[in-house]
Structure 1
Amino acid sequence: MLVLTRKNGETIKIGDDIEITIISAKNDQVKIGIKAPKNIEVFRKELYEQIQSENQEASKDISGLLNFFKKE
């Protein structure tokens, strides 16, 4: 993991298309702004993991249904 120190208003570039700007930092919270192309989805990690889990569960349901119809 790369660890960087930035001050309010400073930006980090990722490749040519993504910028992360520190909007404010106080106490134990940091507010960031992210500029990325529309085709790149940006999620909070906990939300991304929830989406992945729900997708896996949905795919299990579909697999079970497909197996059910194959047996007939």
Structure 2
Amino acid sequence: MLVLSRVVGELISIGDTITVRVLDVSGGNVRFGVEAPRHVNVHRCEVYERIQAKRAREMRD
């Protein structure tokens, strides 16, 4: 796992087409802005896990 330190306003690049900007840090929470091409799905982990679970259920049915 790569661990990076950033302050508000700074960016992280992922490949050539994805950037993550630190928008705000407040009360133990961090807000990110993600810019990615439309064909790249970006989800919070808990949302992604629900999507995967739904797909698995649909494949079993």
Q: TM-score, normalised by structure 2?
A: 0.96
User: 1:40 maps to which residue?
Assistant: 40
Q: TM-score, normalised by structure 1?
A: 0.82
Which consecutive unaligned segments of at least 5 residues does structure 2 have? none
More helix by percentage: 1
CA-CA distance at 1:26 after TM superposition: 1.4
More strand by percentage: 2
For 1:1-72, list aligned pairs within 5 A.
Answer: 1-61=1-61
What is the alpha-carbon distance in structure 2 between the residues aligned to residue 28 and residue 13 of structure 1? 23
What is the DSSP-based 3-state SS (H/G/I as helix, E as strand, rest coil) of the residue aligned with 2:31?
strand
CA RMSD of aligned residues (A): 0.6
What is the alpha-carbon distance in structure 2 between the residues aligned to residue 37 and residue 54 of structure 1? 24
Detail structure 1 runs of 4+ shifted over 6 Å in the superposition. Answer: none
Percent identity, aligned pairs only? 39
Indicate the structure (1 or 2) with the bigger Cα radius of gyration: 1
